[in-house]
Amino acid sequence: MSKAIRIHETGGPEVLRWEDVDVGVLQAGEVRLRQTAVGLNFIDTYHRRGLYPVDALPTVIGMEGAGVVEEIGENVHVFQVGDRVAYAGGPIGSYTEERRIPAARLVKLPDSIDSQHGAALMLKGLTTQYLVRRCYHVKPGDTILIHAAAGGMGLLVCQWAKHLGATVIGTVSTREKAELAASHGCDHPILYREEDFVERVRELTNGVGVPVVYDSVGRDTFDGSLDCQGVLTGRYDLLSPSPVTRCQIIRPVPKGTWPSPSSQHDHSRHSHRYQQDGHRQVARSVTCQLQDAADGP
């Protein structure tokens, strides 16, 4: 038995219940994990609310965590009892003290990365690594634009892009957030409620525009984001062949981003190396006891 946060129906935070859950019998290819930290993500609220369907109810929610391997199933050769590991992107069920999980989902945590950072930065780290190294390879001399620059993802993208030698422009809603983004590598925070970010980006890039926009907002910023890329201006019909054909629109999802265990391992190594270099500030990080997940810290 393990204590876990489980939902029996979808809804608001009130559907989160702290209760005993049977961990079940270890299957081939799985390990039993004693969890030492759980990462909270926005997607958890999608599962809780029913926006993203879960396979069956009741279910333990949560997609990210870190812990210690306590037991090893048949055919697991990569891990040993006592290994410190982390995972992100599921399978769903991380809001628990103990769980079974396919070994293929795990990566070993280097000694220099503690459980809380391991759990908090796994998904964001892998996503940022994908954004700045693969989706678009940020280079020294680039000027890039990131929306929601003071958000959890935004702050990590700012730091990593700056580390790669880019000039970082970021949009934020308040002065406080502008300061936060600036302290994480954003060279030019734009207060989008006070100034037109498209105009400001043109001004900052001498009319050239940016080679990439990391737009995690979407509807409200999409047209403006297109306007900031290269020399594109005006309205675009996405179904027409030009001029949008000159730009690539990518909507990464975790499963497509690191589809195989080996690619997940590669990208995690990369992300961990970056964090070990000291670039791992999790701004405004908050922690709470798992049983208080419904109330927050």
Ligand X SMILES: NC(=O)c1ccc[n+]([C@@H]2O[C@H](COP(=O)([O-])OP(=O)(O)OC[C@H]3O[C@@H](n4cnc5c(N)ncnc54)[C@H](OP(=O)(O)O)[C@@H]3O)[C@@H](O)[C@H]2O)c1
Phi, psi of 191 (to 5 degrees): -85, 95
173 counts as binding ligand X under rule CB under 6 A: yes
Return the SS3 of 177: helix
Q: Cβ 216 to ligand X, closest distance in Å? A: 3
Number of residues that bind ligand X (CB under 6 A): 17
In the list 89, 93, 118, 151, the residue contacting ligand X (rule: CB under 6 A) is: 151
280 counts as binding ligand X under rule CB under 6 A: no
Neighbours of 127 (CB within 10 A): 25
Minimum CB distance to ligand X smaller for 21 or for 132: 132
In the list 33, 148, 161, 198, the residue contacting ligand X (rule: CB under 6 A) is: 148
Return the SS3 of 25: coil
Q: Cβ 148 to ligand X, closest distance in Å? A: 3
150 counts as binding ligand X under rule CB under 6 A: yes
Interface with ligand X in residues 176-215 (CB under 6 A): 177
Return the SS3 of 12: coil
The token pair that represents 253 in the structure block: 């999802």
The number of angstroms, rounded, from the C-alpha of 111 to the middle of its chain's C-alpha atoms is 22
| Residues across the chain | 297
Name the residue with tokens 């306590």. 70
Site map (CB under 6 A) of ligand X, residues 76-115, x = contact: ----------------------------------------
Q: Cβ 238 to ligand X, closest distance in Å? A: 20
What sign results for the dihedral spanned by CA atoms 274, 215, 217, 47? negative
For the chain, the C-alpha Rg in angstroms (whole number) is 21
172 counts as binding ligand X under rule CB under 6 A: yes
The C-alpha atoms of residue 72 and residue 174 are separated, in whole angstroms, by 49
Nearest Cα to Cα of residue 232 among 254, 207, 206, 255: 207
Which of the stretches 14-22, 122-130, 182-190, 196-204 binds ligand X when contact is defined by CB under 6 A?
122-130
124 counts as binding ligand X under rule CB under 6 A: yes
The C-alpha atoms of residue 25 and residue 209 are separated, in whole angstroms, by 56
Interface with ligand X in residues 36-65 (CB under 6 A): 41-42
Minimum CB distance to ligand X smaller for 173 or for 248: 173
The C-alpha atoms of residue 134 and residue 141 are separated, in whole angstroms, by 17
Which of the stretches 93-101, 170-178, 264-272, 273-281 binds ligand X when contact is defined by CB under 6 A?
170-178
Minimum CB distance to ligand X smaller for 77 or for 219: 219
> Where does this chain bind ligand X (CB under 6 A)?
41-42, 123-124, 127, 148, 150-154, 172-173, 177, 216-217, 220
